[in-house]
Amino acid sequence: MKLTIVYDNETKKPELAADWGFSCLIEAEDTPQILFDTGASGSILLHNMKKLNIDPGAIGIVVISHPHGDHFGGLENIIEANKDAELYLPQSFPIGTLARKLTKVKEPVQICPNVFSTGELGGIEQSLVINTDKGLLVVVGCSHPGVGNILDAASRFGKVYGIVGGFHGFRDFDRLNPLSLICPCHCTQYKIEIKRLFGDRCLDCGAGMVIEL
């Protein structure tokens, strides 16, 4: 399984643009390419994808975590480039789209082999749960429902190995103790403290970073 950070407040490569928002590409065996969130700006998203040699036309599934502009701003650009991609939105998402195949998610659901949605938590946000050889990797947008609640929801699918994405104001750091991989991105308020507490288990997020499990 390979996860590439496409859009983030920080960047790991000088040719990529940093911007407030989040997007990542998930590639797994026997699974369509999945784009999770689309950042705030379609032009920045497509720029970074081009520099990372990611073809929008090869994406099979687009998942949007929640209806805030820094997570779906590039959605229509992706749909215009790939009208055949399946789109998964949380049930509360209020905005129409040109996608040909749209699923609104309320309850936990399997999206494709080894990839699940937690369902819409807190009436606003869904997260992805990916089954890897090392355990479950949870991919979050902003964690508005709370990191602890998201981890609890993910654990119904098995043992959680790691978490990647925005943690917002989360500071119940003991909830991260069982995890082997922690990658705070985007809106994480206490990123410096998380890095200090979890050392080598904590990855330094940024556009262009690749996680392979």
Find residue 115's DSSP bridge partners: 112, 130
Angle value at C-alpha 15, between 33 and 139, nearest 5 degrees: 35
Strands (E), the chain: 2-7, 23-27, 33-36, 59-63, 86-90, 101-105, 109-112, 115-117, 128-132, 135-140, 160-166, 181-185, 210-212
Domain boundary assignment for the chain: 2-212
Angle value at C-alpha 148, between 144 and 152, nearest 5 degrees: 110
Confidence (pLDDT) at 105: 97
Confidence (pLDDT) at 29: 85
CB count within 10 Å of CB 128 equals 27
pLDDT in tens, the chain (213 residues): 999 999 999 999 999 999 999 999 999 888 999 999 999 999 999 999 999 999 999 999 999 999 999 999 999 999 999 999 999 999 999 877 778 899 999 999 999 999 999 999 999 999 999 999 999 999 999 999 999 999 999 999 999 999 999 999 999 999 999 999 999 999 999 999 999 999 999 999 999 999 999
pTM for the structure as a whole: 0.97
* Domain 2-212 class in CATH: alpha beta
